[in-house]
Chains A and B, each alone.
Chain A
Amino acid sequence: MTGETMAKLLEMIDIDKSFFGVRILDKVNFDLGAGEVHALLGANGAGKSTLVKILSGAYTLDAGRMLVDGRGVDMSRHSPESALAMGVATIYQNFHLIPHLTVAENVCLADFSTGGKRWVNWKTMRRRALDALSAIGLDIDPGRVVRDLRVSQQQMLEIAIALSQNARIIIMDEPTAAISQRESEKLFGLVRAIRARGVGVIYISHRLEEIRQITDRVTVLRDGRNVGTLPVDDNLSFAAVVELIAGREVKMGRRPRATTLGSEFARVEGLRVPGYGDPVAFSVRAGEILGITGLVGAGKSEFARALFGADRPLSGSVRVEGTLVDVSNPSSAIAGGLGYLPEDRDTSGLCMGLSLKDNISLTSLAKSKSAALSVRRDVQLSGRFRKDLAIKSVDVNQQVRYLSGGNKQKVIFAKWLAANCRFLILDEPTIGIDVGAREDIYRLIEDFVGTGRAVALISSDFDEVLSLSDRLLVMSRGRITADLDPGKTDKPEIMSYCLGVSDQSIRHAAV
């Protein structure tokens, strides 16, 4: 069963899309046949979600055409409503469901079965819900409240609702990310059933084994380009797919740095992160940048938060320079020499309404013992960091909300430098930061470890960790799956560990 032998349900031709001058999609072609399950693969930021969002009308496109049933779609008028009318439905994780309403109410949400009348007809609603559920063989009581259903049941309910609204193209975005193996099997059964009814499914997943189980074709996006569409059959090599996803070329070379790694600087043992079962352990040496990478949802950020005490770890010990650090809360973690740049710097990194001065001095004040503060000292301190870190602002009294992303990040960096932090945990430090400021941040990281301290650099950007880190850990589903030498590995190998491809030969072939 390949797309060529069937009528094309959907064709997307030469799709271009840019955000703020950055090209996200570059002449992407994608098609879907009736009764086909087409996998869409790619690393973080490869353009998968942008492509399906154009299809579902959430984004407009810059250039390109879209055909449904061979007929052109007027993309200038394409919207979420018109996509729905065309039969395009997206199954996020219970995104469309209203949790405290019943199954029946959710099924009939669009019109509440009023049939044009003023009153809600509960009996008709229940019957319609039963029809929708039984159409795909789902056994759920329509009177149950959605919140009480399992995640997989909610997903199947979403599919039932989509089909009852005559959906013909269903987009499933990481449907198995939060459900068990057995529930996944059930979901696959359902996917096969709707495929048999002639519905086309676009299946986004990071799990390669699922691709072989239920998809007919696979398309890989990398850096906004379609780098290959392959039929899924016995000849499909995972190694080839991994290489398509990761690419071989390294965009940034390894940054030259006079690294003199010292003795062990920090050691983390048996750290159990809320929401993930397995304990995590590693150690860092003085002067070392320890890269930690993985796909979105691998548990990197959760791990960082637990390490810093932002979320209290279930168990485990952290030592910095031989001294045990209490990481049950941020305040004591900071006292032990830890520092943390959160991934979402606007919502948890900065006090937006406060000035540069107040933000930069905040942690050093929290660390100090005296009640009084000297405004003059804070002005001098923040003035010095503003100059040293080349923070672009009117003066140190400007509110940080008016700064650019890169300058905001520098303010957070200055805050930790001012507080004499020893071991800095950076969570996606360059996300949403322009190229010039990115270079500044890299230099700050290098200067920081150059003084014999250490950094844990958490990033989904393979190029970044490859070029910057002295050692590289890969995380997948809450576990450290590899400990690599960035000088001797490449992107396909990292990707294979991210995807948790267990077959040794594939890993070998990928290298």
Chain B
Amino acid sequence: MEQGEESAKSFGALAFGLLRHQVVSITAIMLVMWVILWQMSPHFLTVRNILEITLQASVTAVIAAGVSFVIYAGMIDLSVGSIFAMAAVGGGLAYHAANNAQWGTFPGVAASLLATVAIGGIAGLVNGLSVVYLRIPAFVATLGMMGIARGIGFIICDGVPIYGLPKAYTEIGQGKFGPIPYPTIITIALFLVFFVILRNTRFGRFTYAIGSNAEASRLSGIKVNFMIPVIFVICGACAALASIIEAARLGTMQPNGGQGYELQAIGAVYIGGASISGGEGHILGSLIGAILVTTIRNGLNILGVSAFWQLVVNGLIIIFAVAADQIRKRR
């Protein structure tokens, strides 16, 4: 009897502990939302629609994966939406340049992908170096980069969107492995890699340490001035990778693409349980956060709610997610 009570108590504690774990509670919220949407529309909970949601979520999720590192390290990156556009356009130009030089389709696509990821990484590196060596807050450094990258994206293509991508490129966004879209596979693979990095490498541990207390981390022997630029490089490269997925899905690179994506990605990371002051958060939370944001958009679409209202709902969710974090901290 006593033992039964004990185990009941420990089960209760375990359930409570799990619920307090943001990844679990956010997943629960997502499932509840799916059931509600399913009740409201039979079209919602079909395999096709769920796969569609993961496909739609992939762009936000991949950006959010990179932004997660920055937020866990106690900083912010506002420039990912602009880097997204600049890197995509740069990659498009690289493809056409390679095409004009008679490189052939596959080398051309490879050059394009490489150029996109490199541009994203370099923009991130500039962010990180400004934070470390110019000693400006990440908010300001990336706010500047937000304008710079957007501007450069327009300049290099004269404001003209890039078309004429070969099937080898568009296949990345439109192809499927069995019923599963490639973007979904890319996203899952990326999150698995990041999960391992954050959990099982020094780099991941130090990312959280810097977010928790940068000065204590420095005095513990962590090379903070090296870590911060690398973290921003990861973030920029992820934004670039997301831009490849979108360009491949749409068959075009748009210099005005990616607008507002930084807010969606940051929102997804906060919804996923990251602390705004850094040092806390789980990468799977960011994935669920991205899916949740997309679910709402998708669900409201199916219900025929205007796109304008979707923005409002999105904003409200971010506010409540951060408020929940603050309440949790106060206890």
Contacts and interface: CB of A to CB of B under 8 A. Distances in A.
Interface of A: 308, 310, 330-331, 334-335, 340, 342, 347-354, 358, 361-363, 365-368, 370-375, 415, 419
Given A331-B223, A348-B219, A362-B220, A371 B213 contact: no
B90 interface: no
A348 B222 CA distance: 13
Given A358-B208, A366-B206, A350 B200 contact: no
A354 B214 CA distance: 12
B217 interface: yes
Contacts of B220: 330, 334, 362-363, 366, 415
Nearest to B277: A353
Interface of B: 199-203, 205-206, 208-209, 211-213, 215-223, 275, 277-280
B207 to A, nearest CB: 11
A331 B212 CA distance: 18
Contacts of B209: 351, 354, 358, 362
Contact of A352 (B200, B203, B212, B222): B212
Contacts of A371: 201-203
A425 B219 CA distance: 12
Contact of B222 (A342, A366, A373): A366
Contacts of A347: 213, 215-216
Contacts of A365: 202, 205-206
Q: Which of B220, B278, B279 has the most CB of A within 10 A?
A: B220
A335 B220 CA distance: 11
B221 A375 contact: no
A372 B279 contact: no
A285 to B, nearest CB: 26
A335 B221 CA distance: 8
A351 B216 contact: yes
B138 to A, nearest CB: 18
Contacts of A366: 202, 206, 220-223
B205 A362 contact: yes
Contact of B208 (A308, A330, A354, A370): A354
Given A354-B208, A373-B205, A348 B200 contact: no
A109 to B, nearest CB: 30
A371 B203 CA distance: 7
A368 B215 contact: no
Nearest to B197: A371
Which 4 pairs, one residue from A and one from B, show the smallest C-beta to C-beta distance?
A: A351-B212, A366-B221, A353-B279, A334-B221
Nearest to A400: B212
Given A352-B212, A353-B212, A353-B280, A342 B202 contact: no
A375 B199 contact: yes
A353 B325 CA distance: 13
A467 to B, nearest CB: 28
Given A354-B212, A366-B221, 15 more contacts: A330-B219, A331-B218, A334-B221, A348-B215, A349-B219, A351-B212, A352-B212, A353-B211, A353-B213, A353-B278, A353-B280, A354-B208, A354-B279, A362-B220, A366-B220
